[in-house]
A = this chain, B = another copy of it.
Amino acid sequence: MQLIDGGVCAAKGFRAGGIHCGIRKNKEKKDLAMYVCETRCAAAAMHTQNLVKGAPNTVTAEHLQDGYAQAMICNSGIANTCAADGIEKAKAMCELAGEALGVDPQDVVVASTGVIGPSIDLGPIQNGMASLVADLSVDGNTRAAQAIMTTDTHEKQAAVEFELDGKICRLGGMAKGSGMIMPNMATMLCFLTTDAAISPQMLQAALRETVCDTFNMVSVDGDTSTNDMVSLLASGLAGNRQITCQDQDYAVFKDALFTVLRVLSKAIAKDGEGATKLIECNVQGAYDRESARKIAKSVINSSLLKAAVFGADANWGRVLCAIGYAGAQVDVRRVDVAFASAAGSVDVCKNGAGIPVDEAFATRVLSEDEIQINIRLGDGDAAATAWGCDLTYDYVKINGDYRS
């Protein structure tokens, strides 16, 4: 398996595109993305656990109940959430897309991202539909990836090539997400495509298992969005024998999915609103997986730790503090902590207590733009990794006046 260039068009059969249709005021920003497959696909999705759900999430969940879909439409600018006419509007988006593409509206995945509250105006979408369909092409993946961005500073794509049953398969995707990110079962928005043949049941299982260790381990600010969605369409055009149970092929497929989702997860964390650094927290030796995950996420979520990393301050006490309130099963007297980066690794805590640290070196380690916080516990052999980013002046600036 290898990483290749590309996104949602890496797999056979998919065309994508993205345009500015007018939902956003800034004409420089694309606001409507679409992709379509030449055949009906097995489809799976996961949605936010927030009780306040975006209307597109509800509609997409309905449309995927039969396990199949063929196209996707997504706007940025307005979240279509907490609006009285949300469901109606989300369904209308599917109808507009379906008509323009000659696809059953029930086979359309719909998503929205942006400001919560306002009713979405269908006018620009209706008027832009012809241009959007004309824009679709087998190299339109980057335009689509740009059209789903909000405060993201760049598009996020990844793709892999792998072999199943002697056939070359591809899986790729695009993601967006920068603020209001602490996914719980899904991330802000992620759209994946593959040409591997796999049943809807196995597709959903692979997605669920993989999201758990990737997107659900990302946190920018601890806020779980109302519109989180990750969806995956499988065209089967690679021609491999369809995966229908958890066999060796399933394992290879899941590995490919994990590779793409891991790249996208790190990209989301690194592009967190205002972020200057990616923080990766690796926990080893935990009592159980749940404890490992809780601890990694607690550290990644600590505003104090995030601000310390921004300031390249080796304030490991804040790591211990976050471990202590994680709600995990942990013996805090057996915690070792090291900070690491391309500049090297520095041990800062052994058995829950501080050790002498070369502060100048520690500052150099923390001055890189990808920081690892490596935590070794003495409780068992479970491990987990979480990704986050530093807390900066710009996070405050971006969120102090997002709507204007």
Residue among A179, A304, A323 having the largest count of chain B Cβ atoms under 10 Å: A304
Q: Quick check: A303 and B401 within 8 Å, CB to CB?
A: no
**Does A83 belong to the interface (CB within 8 Å)?**
yes
**Does A149 belong to the interface (CB within 8 Å)?**
no
Task: Tell me which residues across on chain B come within 8 A of A303, comparing CB atoms.
Answer: 221-223, 303, 395, 399
Task: Tell me which residues across on chain B come within 8 A of A398, comparing CB atoms.
Answer: 307
A115 to B348, CA, bound (A): 14
Contact of A116 among B53, B180, B301, B317 (CB under 8 A): B317
Q: Quick check: A354 and B83 within 8 Å, CB to CB?
A: yes
- Chain A interface: which size bin? 35 or more
Q: Quick check: B49 and A317 within 8 Å, CB to CB?
A: no
Task: Tell me which residues across on chain B come within 8 A of A252, comparing CB atoms.
Answer: none
A305 to chain B, nearest CB (A): 8
Q: Quick check: A324 and B226 within 8 Å, CB to CB?
A: yes
Q: Which residue of B lies closest to A50 (CB)?
A: B324
- Interface positions of A from 180 to 226, Cβ below 8 Å from B: 180, 184, 221-226
Task: Tell me which residues across on chain B come within 8 A of A397, comparing CB atoms.
Answer: 393
Stretch of A4-12, A105-113, A308-316 at the chain-chain interface: A308-316
Contact of A352 among B82, B225, B316 (CB under 8 A): B82
Contact of A52 among B223, B324, B401 (CB under 8 A): B324
Task: Tell me which residues across on chain B come within 8 A of A119, comparing CB atoms.
Answer: 354
Asked if A323 meets B51 with Cβ closer than 8 Å, knowing A84-B353, A396-B391, the reply is yes
Task: Tell me which residues across on chain B come within 8 A of A323, comparing CB atoms.
Answer: 51-52
Task: Tell me which residues across on chain B come within 8 A of A115, comparing CB atoms.
Answer: 315, 317
A323 to B223, CA, bound (A): 11
Task: Tell me which residues across on chain B come within 8 A of A396, comparing CB atoms.
Answer: 307, 310, 391-393, 395-396
Contact of A320 among B224, B226, B332, B404 (CB under 8 A): B226
Task: Tell me which residues across on chain B come within 8 A of A401, comparing CB atoms.
Answer: 311, 313
Q: Which residue of B lies closest to A352 (CB)?
A: B82
- Interface positions of A from 270 to 321, Cβ below 8 Å from B: 301-304, 307-308, 310-311, 313, 315-318, 320-321
Q: Which residue of B lies closest to A319 (CB)?
A: B116
Q: Quick check: A321 and B49 within 8 Å, CB to CB?
A: no
A307 to B391, CA, bound (A): 12
Q: Quick check: B180 and A304 within 8 Å, CB to CB?
A: yes
**Does A144 belong to the interface (CB within 8 Å)?**
no
A376 to chain B, nearest CB (A): 15
**Does A73 belong to the interface (CB within 8 Å)?**
no
Q: Quick check: B308 and A399 within 8 Å, CB to CB?
A: yes
Task: Tell me which residues across on chain B come within 8 A of A315, comparing CB atoms.
Answer: 115-116, 402-403
Q: Quick check: A321 and B354 within 8 Å, CB to CB?
A: no
A82 to B323, CA, bound (A): 12
**Does A400 belong to the interface (CB within 8 Å)?**
yes
A404 to B314, CA, bound (A): 11
Q: Quick check: A222 and B223 within 8 Å, CB to CB?
A: no
A397 to chain B, nearest CB (A): 7
**Does A322 belong to the interface (CB within 8 Å)?**
yes
Asked if A116 meets B320 with Cβ closer than 8 Å, knowing A51-B325, A223-B303, the reply is yes
Residue among A79, A184, A393 having the largest count of chain B Cβ atoms under 10 Å: A393
A324 to B308, CA, bound (A): 30
A294 to chain B, nearest CB (A): 12
A149 to B115, CA, bound (A): 40
